[in-house]
Chains A and B, each alone.
Chain A
Amino acid sequence: DSGVTQTPKHLITATGQRVTLRCSPRSGDLSVYWYQQSLDQGLQFLIQYYNGEERAKGNILERFSAQQFPDLHSELNLSSLELGDSALYFCASSVDSSSTGDETFFGQGTRLTVV
């Protein structure tokens, strides 16, 4: 158990819908990262938050957004869903984004299926 909790584990929804994925980082970790793992794109970094503020952005679509709340949990919002958004979405956390080489701990992921 990495200490990173993601809910729900599985999500099935229709095209055009909106979903919210939730992540609770490890106790004490200030940074939260979101990654998408799909068959055609592999593992891709989406976005990072550090202590409530956006720190880095990767290949995140405009239809997707994220936020980190004062209690440090994070939510990834996916809207106007398309079939191609079906993927495993991972949340990860680490202590401090400026601590190079610190271990990043991954949650077990939310498997999103868009039908």
Chain B
Amino acid sequence: AQSVTQLGSHVSVSEGALVLLRCNYSSSVPPYLFWYVQYPNQGLQLLLKYTSAATLVKGINGFEAEFKKSETSFHLTKPSAHMSDAAEYFCAVSDPAFGNEKLTFGTGTRLTIIP
């Protein structure tokens, strides 16, 4: 079974500082990995996805993530935090053998931006 672990349920960074949200995965096969963002009272929006092409994936809003097989990690970064980045972020994994049948989500990381 596949799973993802998000380290840190709450992360606070100053505006303009580096954002680093951690995600480690467990999978018996090379997985597909995703980062979603959820703003208050909103649904989930896809930030970026890794589907076995380039290991460095660029997403929307200046976010990127790097797939590191040796570390089983898919950490999300953004060089300079903006107030509008305050939200909850979810890492997710799917099994390529089963297509999009289901996403298994991490427990989420709430990002707070300090002015």
Q: Which residues does A use to contact B, with CB under 8 Å?
A: 2, 4, 31, 33, 42-45, 48, 55-56, 58, 90, 92, 94, 96-109
Contacts and interface: CB of A to CB of B under 8 A. Distances in A.
A30 to B, nearest CB: 11
Contacts of B36: 106
Interface in B18-34: 32
B104 interface: yes
Contact of B102 (A33, A105, A107): A33
A47 to B, nearest CB: 9
Residue of A42, A43, A45, A90 ringed by the most chain B CB atoms within 10 A: A43
Given A42-B108, A43-B90, A101-B51, A90 B44 contact: yes
Nearest to B52: A101
A2 B100 contact: no
A48 B102 contact: yes
Interface string B74-113: 0000000000000000100010101111111111100000
Interface residues of B, number: 24
Interface of B: 32, 36, 41-46, 49, 51, 90, 94, 96, 98-108
A113 to B, nearest CB: 14
B43 A56 contact: no
Contacts of B108: 42-43
A110 B69 CA distance: 37
28 contacts: A2-B43, A31-B100, A42-B105, A43-B90, A43-B108, A44-B105, A45-B104, A56-B101, A56-B102, A58-B102, A90-B43, A92-B44, A94-B100, A96-B99, A97-B99, A99-B100, A100-B32, A101-B94, A101-B96, A103-B46, A103-B49, A104-B46, A104-B100, A106-B45, A107-B43, A108-B41, A108-B43, A109-B43
